[in-house]
Amino acid sequence: MSPEDKVRNIADASKPNAGRIYDYFLGGNHNFEIDRQAAQPVLQASPFLPSLLKMIRWFLGEATRRLCEERYTKFLDFASGLPTVDHIHQVAPKGTKVIYSDIDPVTVAYANDIIGNNPNVRYVHCDAGKPEDLLNSGVIEELFGKDRKIAIGFNGIAWFLPDEPIDHYMDVMYEWAEKGSKLFTCDANSTGLSENAKTIMNQYAKFGQPFYPRTMEKLQELVKPWSVTEPGFMHLEKWMDMENIVTQETQDAWSWGGIYGVFLTK
């Protein structure tokens, strides 16, 4: 297959792709009309969703900046989506090494086309619920060497996974990582599901990505044996000091506890 045919195969505009739909919600340009059409029912029911998803991506950037300030130079990221709009390698200082991964082979192929020949970035196929496949692939040693004191991203994926894979992920990564490694994650605090939330869940199920809502208390159990660092679990708008920007109307529309983030350490 020629490079041109490969790109055409990657960028299949005949059916919507969840990664490209997410890119559209973020305001990116790596999406097609079929993706934008698929996004419209969600936007009509929940016009606040792009702002919410942007906040999740901003938390990723905030986590990256904080960890870089703590001298972490190697990032291992799961369920990365398309590496567009303020992703790790775009926020971190030059020379930071990043390994992205995603379960969707189309997203992986398209992402590699976007990344190009960046020597400090890799993008590989991996199910976040089976991190051992990536840990044993040889890719980490190739880019990181033997260093296992790293920053780990598990951002914006928890609500797409049942409890068991998350519990497995946390155990496997804790066993593999060196002491001093840090992991950041966020989840939806589903203390009560509004009609807006149910609409979002139904639409994403049509994209092939069902939701698994859970309470903050449940995620606190699932992240063990990782230790929660100060200031603990906080809503994303507090992490970015944006409480005065997120309107009460938007908070009422979420009405399921919002999205919260946390830093964990070994």
- Which domains does the chain carry? 3-265 (3.40.50.150)
Task: Indicate the angle between helix axes 49-69 and 18-26, nearest 10 degrees.
Answer: 90
Residue in the structure block whose two tokens are 């960890």: 67
pTM metric for this prediction: 0.84
190-231 pLDDT tens trace: 766 666 667 777 777 776 678 888 888 899 999 999 999 999
Distance CA 130, CA 39 (A): 29
φ, ψ dihedrals at 148, nearest 5°: -115, 10
According to the model, what pLDDT value does residue 252 have?
A: 60
Across the chain, mean pLDDT equals 85
**What was the pLDDT predicted at 44?**
80
pLDDT at 179: 98
pLDDT tens for 37-52 read 988 887 887 777 777 7
Non-local (6+) Cβ contacts of 112 within 8 A are 123
Q: Which residue has the tokens 């260093």?
A: 147
Query: Which residue has better confidence, 8 or 70?
Result: 70
Query: Residue 62: its pLDDT value, please?
Result: 93
